Amino acid sequence: MPIPLVNSIASWFLKKRIHQMELFMKYPNEVQQELLRSLISKARHTEIGKKHNFSEISNYKTFAERVPIHSYEEYEPAIERSRRGENNIFWPTPIKWFAKSSGTTNAKSKFIPVSEDSLENCHYAAGKDLLCMYLNNNPQSQLFTGKSLRLGGSKEIYRNNGTSYGDLSAILIENMPFWAEFSSTPSSEVSLMNDWEIKMQAIVNETIKEKVTSLAGVPSWMLVLLNKVLDTSGKEDLFQVWQNLEVYFHGGVNFQPYADQYKKILPSDSFRYYEIYNASEGFFACQDHNNSNELLLMLDYGIFYEFIPMDAYGTPEQKIIPLSEVKTDVNYAVVITTNAGLWRYRIGDTVRFTSTSPYRIKVSGRTKHHINVFGEELIIENTDNALKKASQITGCQIIDYTAAPIFMKGKEKGAHEWIIEFKTPPENLEVFITELDLALQQLNSDYEAKRHNNMTLNMPTVHQAREKLFYDWLKKNDKLGGQHKIPRLSNERCYVEELLEMSGRSSAKGTLEV
């Protein structure tokens, strides 16, 4: 298709969609309430609809009273029946696909239903919207003069009883509309290769010859791929490989720990970074302005949102609220009801609203990925930002990290134990530890109170990980590629102990090398 024609079609779609987005930004709560009524009406004759008398529910208050909050474990029996080919359990149309996700808090695989509605009206609609927003903000873009280098998971599609399961990215690639396939690289054949390490080199070999104008994928794995591109090509930066490269669409993990490394291989102030917030359960939010660190919550993708304030999460005082009642600068657990049949489902993520007009968010962490053994309420947003500050002060670069508590023993106070893999280590690790501790105290008053005069917490212990320790841990646990990531924080010591064991070391306060 000629580029001018592609640009004309994109421009037409852009104007139409921008108007629709302005509508849900102006009337967000009305759009969400209407969406909820539509979901309830569509599923009223399903098994779950009959169980909770959906035909009698006409408003949010009744919906919240009738339908309980669900975890994956509570949903699993129904999902397993659906995977075996049963229909009309939690959604009226047949569920053909299930996104396999092991998560980072549970080794057991999860199979998230992906309906035709969610595929078309959520995942693919979001892809088009992302392009709309980017082109609206960058009218001189030459995006369609080349292709998007996409980096998805390496799990193949497995078929059983007429249903399929695999990485969400594999499902999306297999069912990709022609316009997306036409403008993407590598080929679907390479994208769906099962062996991650072989696949990475195959992607390099295929894409290095293409005219790539954009990148899309998880920052940690994309960085591995891009460094392979530079190694293979012998070039110093990526613009010497793809001179028309203009934007990177990223999500899955916080970008901040990787920002400096990307700027080194993409040395241009005009290069754009656009963040997205998606998961196997749906596409939730995306950056809608250049150089922004906030994400616009998308309200018309067939997802109804509710939130649980984290200060009472999991307690008898827990309260679930609709979007209309959220406040800025409060940490919330996310609950969703979707057009794939997930009803009041806890996805395990936490967000913080930066604005309520329109609704914009920052992803702050996971409900199970925090450290609160000593009342310090440390979340991933805190640790990512503290590491960024400590790295800037000490001139180091971080590849990955994890942290866990050192439990009190006898009269010995507690502490936090970190394992950090550096790309460029600090000249003085003790100075880095001091700066990390100070940054955490500045960012988190609860942590500061526990650290005051070593009242409850001693100084953090930091182990410098050997090269590729985290990569080897992911490989050992069959988690290379895709959305898989290192568990950043844990209230338990299982991850830290396993990593130390892989290094032939045991936990010891003051040990700095792993």
Residue-wise pLDDT tens digits, 241-290:
999 999 999 998 788 878 888 999 999 999 999 999 998 999 999 999 99
Count CA atoms closer than 13 A to 506's CA, side-chain side.
0
Which class for 84: exposed (0-12), middle (13-18), buried (19 or more C-beta within 10 A)? exposed
What was the pLDDT predicted at 6? 60
**pLDDT range class, residue 2, cuts 50, 70, 90:** low
**Domain range 122-286, CATH class:** alpha beta
Identity at 127, one-letter amino acid code? G
What was the pLDDT predicted at 188? 82
313-332: per-residue pLDDT in tens?
888 899 999 999 999 999 99
What was the pLDDT predicted at 313? 87
**pLDDT range class, residue 196, cuts 50, 70, 90:** confident
Question: C-alpha 504: how far from its chain's center?
Answer: 32
Could you write out the DSSP letters of every residue in 96-149? -EEEEE-TTT-SS-EEEEE-HHHIIIIIIHHHHHHHHHHHHH-TT--GGGSEEE
Residues in the chain: 514
What was the pLDDT predicted at 511? 41
340-366: per-residue pLDDT in tens?
999 999 998 999 999 999 999 999 888
Cα-only R_g, the chain: 23
Of the candidates 385, 351, 344, the residue with the CA atom closest to the CA atom of residue 366: 351
Of the candidates 305, 374, 315, 313, the residue with the CA atom closest to the CA atom of residue 342: 305
What was the pLDDT predicted at 510? 39
Tell me which of 105-109, 246-250, 288-292, 475-479 is least confident. 105-109
Is the pLDDT higher at 254 or at 199? 199
Question: C-alpha 249: how far from its chain's center?
Answer: 12
In three-state secondary structure terms, 244 is coil
User: Residue 325: CB partners within 8 Å, gap ≥ 6?
Assistant: none
Give the C-alpha separation, 370 to 381, whole Å.
10
Token couple for 8: 């004309």
Tell me phi and psi for residue 32, to 5 degrees.
-65, -40
Of the candidates 425, 406, 513, 401, the residue with the CA atom closest to the CA atom of residue 463: 513
Which class for 137: exposed (0-12), middle (13-18), buried (19 or more C-beta within 10 A)? middle
Of the candidates 396, 427, 407, the residue with the CA atom closest to the CA atom of residue 496: 407
Q: What is the mean pLDDT of residues 121-150?
A: 91
The pLDDT of residue 512 is above 50: no
According to the per-residue pLDDT averaged within each range, which of 1-15, 105-119, 426-440 is highest? Answer: 426-440
What was the pLDDT predicted at 106? 42
Q: What is the four-CA torsion angle of 312, 486, 207, 250, rounded to 10 degrees?
A: 20
User: Residue 188: CB partners within 8 Å, gap ≥ 6?
Assistant: 173, 174, 176, 181
**pLDDT range class, residue 504, cuts 50, 70, 90:** confident
Q: Give pTM, 2 decimals.
A: 0.83
Of the candidates 289, 286, 287, the residue with the CA atom closest to the CA atom of residue 301: 286
Domain ranges within the chain, ordered by starting residue: 122-286, 370-502
Give the C-alpha separation, 382 to 380, whole Å.
5
The answer to whether 335 and 69 are in contact (CB under 8 A) is yes
Sign of CA dihedral 242, 247, 252, 258: positive
- H helix or E strand, kind and range, residue 346: strand 345-356
Angle at 389 between CA 386 and CA 392, to 5 degrees: 150
